[in-house]
Amino acid sequence: MTDAAPALDVRGLSVRFRMPGGRYVAAVSDASFRLAPGSCLALVGESGCGKSVLASALLGLLPGNADTAGSALLPDGLDLLTAGEAVLARTVRGRRIGLVPQSPAAHLTPVRTIRSHLEEAVRELAHPTAAARGRRAAREAVRAAAERAAERAAFPASHLDRHPHELSGGLAQRAATALALVGDAPLLLADEPTTGLDRDLVHRTADELRAHTRDAGRALLMITHDLAAAHRIADTVAVMYAGRIVETCPADAFFGRPGPRHPYARGLLDALPERAFTPIPGSPPELGALPPGCAFAARCPGADARCRTELPAPASGVACHHA
């Protein structure tokens, strides 16, 4: 991380869902991280660990039964957790945070062409018509801005008049990226952007997102369970387990030497086919019935009595009594 003011500063973010019978699901607990301009933080972890809930909290898209605590600050001090829906809709989503969605084909409207999606986003977010005189000039300004947006995401002009179902997975991903870039937001949030893509496309998508980040000075929060994509793109890796960030580590150290220090993070790497290909035994706890101590203790070969009773506080980037 650099010393620049963070593009996003998340402190003690927690999300609980109120359930019938007075129960709670603690989907995210006390998550903290900072994201510098021009850098990428990959938030990794198994399915169900709370990654998407954290992303929804940042975008103000949590359902009504969610309670939040902590803060998520943009550089001017706007707290995404307490900002009202009108502020988020008018000034944040698309303008200050661009969302690269999971399953882009599903995110796009099936009956509309990519050009129509882009032109609508341009009209809404980029206002290219301000200088145009007359309706025809305004239409042409929107069209040109939409074509430029497609070009920025390497979406071919020849495919702009196609519908989402006429696109390959890779092109649908680029269309979604083009849409996310229209508002020129300084922060991109990519939720599982490589899910369902083959290996080559994972690499290409990761490289393209990387270019939109480092080269353009944007910050990227990438949520993924795909460690190969994280390896390709991230400066920092944050590992989430059972709703908590258990380790935050520079990507070089995480994927190279000395490697992660938390036993769960080490287990995630060892489970990769290109490494030991050894799955972590057992499964994560229910987020509605978390144990009092470390949530990983039941699966951890090094756990002792303290681990089972006392929650480890994050110290120098890792939350483990024995790291």
Q: Positive or negative CA dihedral for 113, 119, 125, 126?
A: positive
Our finding on whether 52 is near ligand ATP (CB under 6 A) is yes
Residues with Cβ within 8 Å of residue 158, at least 6 apart in sequence: none
Using rule CB under 6 A, residue 225 touches ligand ATP: yes
Distance between CA atoms of residues 312 and 61, nearest Å: 30
In the complex with ligand ATP, which residue's Cβ is closer, 36 or 233?
233
Position closest to ligand ATP via CB: 52
Q: Is 189 in the site for ligand ATP (CB under 6 A)?
A: no
- CA distances 225 to 8, 42, 153, 177, 178, Å, are 21, 9, 23, 19, 23
Report the distance separating Cα 291 and Cα 308, nearest Å.
8
- Kindly tell me which residue out of 8, 41, 44, 53 binds ligand ATP, with binding defined by CB under 6 A: 53
Span of 42-50, 129-137, 262-270, 299-307 interacting with ligand ATP by CB under 6 A: 42-50
Residue with tokens 């998550």: 31
**What is the C-alpha separation between 321 and 323, in angstroms, rounded?**
6
Q: How many residues are listed for the chain in this entry?
A: 323
Q: Is 264 in the site for ligand ATP (CB under 6 A)?
A: no
Find the binder of ligand ATP among 25, 171, 206, 220 (CB under 6 A).
25
> Among residues 7, 13, 27, 222, which is the contact residue for ligand ATP, using CB under 6 A?
27
Strand pairing category for 40-44 and 219-224: parallel
User: Among residues 19 and 276, whose Cβ is nearest to ligand ATP?
Assistant: 19
Q: Does 239 bind ligand ATP (CB under 6 A)?
A: no
**Smallest Cα–Cα separation from 57: which of 39, 74, 36, 71?**
71
- Does residue 63 interact with ligand ATP by CB under 6 A? yes
Restricting to residues 64-93, name those near ligand ATP by CB under 6 A.
65
Residues 199-218 touching ligand ATP, rule: CB under 6 A, are none
User: Does residue 129 sit in helix, strand or coil?
Assistant: coil
User: Of the ranges 50-58, 76-84, 179-187, 204-212, which one interacts with ligand ATP (CB under 6 A)?
Assistant: 50-58
Binding mask 123-152 for ligand ATP (x = CB under 6 A): ------------------------------
Kindly indicate which of the ranges 43-51, 198-206, 212-220, 273-281 contains the residues binding ligand ATP, using the contact rule CB under 6 A.
43-51
Report, in Å, the least distance between residue 197 CB and ligand ATP: 15
For residue 11, what are the CA distances in angstroms to 226, 241, 243, 283?
Answer: 25, 17, 14, 28
In the chain, where do the E strands start and end?
A: 8-18, 24-35, 40-44, 66-73, 97-100, 187-191, 219-224, 236-241, 244-250
Q: Determine contact, residues 128/122, Cβ cutoff 8 Å.
A: yes
Cβ 17 to ligand ATP shortest distance, Å: 4
Q: How far is the CB of 25 from ligand ATP (least distance, A)?
A: 4
Q: Which residues bind ligand ATP (CB under 6 A)?
A: 17, 25, 27, 45, 47-53, 63, 65, 225, 287
